[in-house]
Amino acid sequence: MDDRHLPVALAEPPTLDLRADFPGLTTPGGAPWHYLDTAATAQKPQAVIDTVVRAMGKDYATVHRGVYSRSADMTRSYEEARQRISRFIGGREDEIVFTRGATEAINLVANSWGRANLKPGDRILLSALEHHSNIIPWQMIAEATGAKIDVVPLTADHRIDLDAAEKMIGPRHKLIAFVHVSNVTGSVLDVGRAADIAHSVGAKLLLDGCQAVPHMPVDVAALGCDFYVFSAHKLYGPTGIGALWASGDILADMPPWEGGGSMIERVTFEKTTYDVPPQRFEAGTPAIVEAIGFAAAADYVDAIGREAIHAHEAALTKRLRRELGRMNDVTLFGPDDGAGIVSFLIDGIHPHDLGTILDDGDVAIRAGHHCAQPLMDYLDIPATARASFAVHSSEADIDALIEGIGRTRRIFGKG
Catalytic site positions: 371
Under DSSP, is residue 16 helix (H, G, I), strand (E, B) or coil? coil
- CA quadruple 277, 283, 285, 288: dihedral sign: negative
Please report, for residues 43, 129, 344, the alpha-carbon distance to residue 208 in angstroms, rounded to integers and kept in the order given.
Answer: 21, 11, 23
The dihedral sign for the CA sequence 101, 104, 110, 116? negative
DSSP per-residue letters across 317-384? HHHHHHHHHT-TTEEEES-TT-SSEEEEEETTB-HHHHHHHHHHTTEE-EEE-TT-HHHHHHHT-S-E
- Decide the pairing of beta strands 148-152 and 272-274: unpaired
Dist. CA 365–CA 221, nearest whole Å: 35
> Do the beta carbons of residue 43 and residue 236 sit within 8 Å?
yes
Beta strands, E only, 92-220: 96-99, 123-127, 148-152, 173-179, 204-208
